[in-house]
Amino acid sequence: MAKRLVIGNWKMNGSLALVDAMKSLPKETGVDVVIVPPAVYLAPMVHASAGEFTVGLQTIGQFSSGAHTGEVAASMASEVGAQWVLVGHSERRDAHGENDEVVAAKAEQGLAAGLSVVICVGESLMEREAGRAEAFVSQQVRAQVASLRTKGTVAIAYEPIWAIGSGVSASPEQAVAMHRVIRQTLADVAPEHAEGIRILYGGSVNAENAEQLFVHPEIDGVLVGGASLDKAQFAAIIRAASSAAA
């Protein structure tokens, strides 16, 4: 069984003090831990990790270099020690107008720079209530994965938009059902890679619900927002991933 993957997404939160507080997170067999802080904390976070966990970015420039004020190129992130990048987070899709094409370009940039890429997908409440959640997510996965040209490590994070930051997590049954749909879509679109792609759940994961999620072998990991800002909670989630992996 592949290692479980636990990713903490700080969004635009944190401080150098919080970076420092993440030193000596639990290192558990069978679990890969990644923190994606705001870009300015990348280098200090790599230093604080002391090789015990890995570090990444929450987004990446769509181009390799040039006149793109405010952007960070994948190669730059890699140069200072990033190993992962998230692309297509719903907050980027909604607030920054990133469509599937932009997300695919960012994924390519990340892979070309040797970063492992997490592609985020997930339906809105409206799509779920209309009974279109599975078709919507399957189409997102298909669009993002089919357009990948560069080989490398890819994970999919299923993040229903209604569960992100809302305190209302998808139930383990809802998450498992969607992970199966995603796994099947991957088998259709990229049969040679499908088995190696880890599928994470994200959306109001915390120390309490992580254990129920990790009971299910379909859940290869979690993408954690708010709860990753609290070292004790994040550590508890890592331990939950570890006991399920054992």
Between 58 and 189, name the residue whose CB sits nearer to ligand PEP. 58
Alpha helix ranges (H) inside 113-171: 125-129, 133-146
Written as six digits, the tokens of 60 are 């990446």
Q: Answer yes or no: are the C-beta atoms of 89 and 102 closer than 8 Å.
A: no
Interface pick for ligand PEP out of 202, 236, 241, 242 (rule CB under 6 A) = 202
How is residue 126 annotated by DSSP?
Answer: H
Query: Nearest to ligand PEP by Cβ — which residue?
Result: 225
Decide: is 200 part of the binding site for ligand PEP (CB under 6 A).
no
- 3-22 binders of ligand PEP (CB under 6 A): 9, 11
Interface pick for ligand PEP out of 113, 189, 223, 238 (rule CB under 6 A) = 223
Of 112, 124, 184, 122, the C-alpha closest to 154 is: 112
- 122-141 binders of ligand PEP (CB under 6 A): none
- Which span (24-32, 129-137, 138-146, 200-208) binds ligand PEP, by CB under 6 A? 200-208
Least Å from the CB of residue 219 to ligand PEP: 14
Chain centroid offset of residue 189 CA: 20
Rounded Cα gap, residues 42 and 25, in angstroms: 17
Residue where the block lists tokens 């054992």: 246
Between 119 and 189, name the residue whose CB sits nearer to ligand PEP. 119
Decide: is 26 part of the binding site for ligand PEP (CB under 6 A).
no
Residues 131-153: b if buried by 16+ CB within 10 A, e if exposed: eebbebbbebbbbbbeebeeebb
Decide: is 144 part of the binding site for ligand PEP (CB under 6 A).
no
Q: Answer yes or no: are the C-beta atoms of 240 and 23 closer than 8 Å.
A: no
Decide: is 204 part of the binding site for ligand PEP (CB under 6 A).
yes
Least Å from the CB of residue 54 to ligand PEP: 17
Binding site for ligand PEP (CB under 6 A): 9, 11, 159, 164-165, 202-205, 223-227
